[in-house]
Structure 1
């Protein structure tokens, strides 16, 4: 494998885009990516594209990739839609990194897009539910929130964590989202309000859940030794990994840890030659607040059952020892399913280049963590930059 780098990354504002199709959303993200490339960008250099999308609402389930890339004028190259539920964007990036790293291609576009807010609440629940096991979870009536509520119940029963620690995750991420002009929710929330919100699935309440979101994101992956042709400040992908697990909760040995994440993280750390203690900041998959606590543990930032202590002590605050979700995370920035994994890259690309403005954190080593469904699939990436 040769080393690879990201030389451009951009996204749409996350939220409601009732007048834009997925083609137009993708084009907006692509234009933002092109603008982030410091030097002349020639789209003819792009050899392939991988586009993450769950296809919420069935708007363009067939050949989604070519549908959106042709709209930006990218034709004549292999384009593939990648679907791995909420980890679709992460796996699109994984495919791009592997394609460039292996030498098969020299410049690959990784992107993602989702349009979720055209649907009614009931239809949205249906599309979110397809990420669970069809036979034993979805058709039995379990919602996406219900699955994570079961995980949260078990975690609170097995550890010393309390619901207040879940609420502290929400408070932290809303505080960060308030500083992000691309975030869906640009407002802070008090601990009292977060803890006292209406229940959606015991023990989770409204502020424990991410929103449904329209949005798109793009990143350009090239060989590391070609990166300075595009920019003076490339972000190097030094580690990457993917993992999978049983889809249904009842098939797993434990539901308070995600083996797919641990497999992906182990591979990423080994390739990068770093350990969890070397990571300076991270974007993790907080579709529900409990998911962020599990991420702390599965990524090696905390021992099993002790992740809640990090948020309780403020370690993962923007000015803490390990800032997590400076973008606002899925919780406040938003969660357009197919775009989320690539949108995490956009935040870390800006952070490592010192371009994150008011939400800027310190660090040279960053990590992103993208989970599909309740842990059936996951990707982890390590990024580094030379200061």
Structure 2
């Protein structure tokens, strides 16, 4: 018997390769992930009660069309948009439906086709401060990186080690957008995007879909052998806030963490972590926001090898957003799928040895004047 108390079982998962899929329709991309998850679970589409679709730039009416294309005709379908956290928020809501009894089976689906929308970085709303200043997300994260390096005294070159590690992990991930390892010199020598961040320190703009089916903990065991211990979500608050000395986004993640600890009856350590690393500095700040290391200690932990697959804090064994790719609405669900693969011991050369627990963290940004649109955390374990 497992020592854990679960709120929902994960009955099935599905994921497509991340990359450029211009020739594939939204509906077909999503259906591939949905059918894979349902097949693993042994559940018919008509048995699914609720569906939450994470997508940021999908067209109007997308969720209903995706449900129809996947045969989910009896489900209540809702589109969820929380920037980069859309998929993980969708999963949080689906699991909540199962835990509360609102639905016996609930599906979290994330899908995005950024290749149809952008040729470069995501452009902020022109009416926001960032839009007025011409400050897209690479610029915002570059400011974070510069501020962090100034406060801690680390060198800009140290951040490159995040990309080196994650690209090495991605080289062992068959669905990753970037499947080639890179050296520190290659990362630092790539084109400057926003000082100090170079091209290889930024995630690729990806297309992809991922799905996770949640079901009750009573009755049959989980076919995947993995369940959800708890999940949490925090919305953004005003930022910068008077008297608050913290990097953008860290407060949002911290509030979600406090809520998670309440649901788990206190802090826990996990065997592996899938965190939001749209840019190299993002991984460092995520780990510090999760209080796994002290404030300002993230780079040293990275350099010491603690975040590697064989370290004591394995981070982004999938390759993270930097290697797997960042298909916004699908990212959080893909993080869950990777965690399930790891807990099943099926991750091959990127496997975290003996992993029985995992934590997923995704931060959604982009709302001007807030410390994030939303942050979502999901704690998983072997059942």
TM-score tier (shorter): over 0.9
Residue 151 of structure 1 pairs with residue 144 of structure 2: yes
Instruction: Give the SS at the match of 2:128.
Output: helix
- Aligned with 2:349: secondary structure? helix
Which residue does 1:262 correspond to in 2? 254
More off after superposition, 212-221 vs 353-362:
353-362
TM-score (norm 1): 0.91
In the alignment of these two chains, the number of paired residues is 372
Alpha-carbon distance between aligned partners in 2 of 1:341 and 1:28, rounded to the nearest angstrom: 17
Verify the 8 A CA contact 1:51 1:112 in the aligned structure 2: yes
CA–CA distance in structure 2, aligned partners of residues 120 and 281 of structure 1: 32
User: What is the CA distance between 1:322 and its match in structure 2?
Assistant: 1.5
User: How large is the RMSD of aligned CA atoms in angstroms?
Assistant: 2.0
Structure 1 residues 3 and 246: CA distance shift in structure 2, 3 A: closer
Give the corresponding residue for 1:184: 177
Deviation at 1:274?
5.2
Residue 83 in structure 1 maps to residue 81 in structure 2: yes
- 8 Å CA contact retained: 1:34, 1:41: yes
Alignment correspondent of 1:44: 46
Contact 1:50 1:96 in 2 (8 A): yes
Distance 1:134 1:112, change over 3 A: farther
CA distance in 1, matches of 2:243, 2:220: 42
* Rounded Cα–Cα distance in structure 1 between residues aligned with 2:20 and 2:235: 31
What SS is found at the alignment partner of 1:81?
strand
Q: Cα offset for 1:120?
A: 4.7
Q: Which runs of 5+ in 1 are unaligned?
A: none
Task: Note the 1:271-350 alignment, pairs <5 A.
Answer: 271-273=263-265, 275-276=267-268, 278-350=269-341
Cα distance change on mapping 1:227 and 1:378 into 2, 3 Å: farther
Tell me how far 1:365 sits from its aligned partner. 1.2
Secondary structure of 2:13's aligned partner? strand
Instruction: Report how far residue 372 of structure 1 moved.
Output: 0.3
CA distance in 2, matches of 1:283, 1:307: 15
Instruction: Work out whether residues 239 and 270 of structure 1, in 8 Å CA contact, stay in contact via their aligned partners in 2.
Output: no
The aligned counterpart of 1:140 is 133
Task: Measure, in 1, the Cα distance between the counterparts of 2:32 and 2:240.
Answer: 38
In structure 2, the partner of 1:378 is 375
User: Aligned-pair distance for 1:30?
Assistant: 1.2
* Structure 2: gaps (5+ residues): 367-371
Mapped to 1, the partners of 2:239 and 2:115 lie a distance apart of 27
2: CA distance, partners of 1:24 / 1:150 = 39
Instruction: Tell me the equivalent position of 1:92.
Output: 90
Contact kept, 8 Å, 1:239 with 1:269, in 2: the verdict is no
The alpha carbon displacement at 1:2 in A equals 7.5
Paired with 1:350 and 1:274, the residues of 2 have a C-alpha distance of: 26
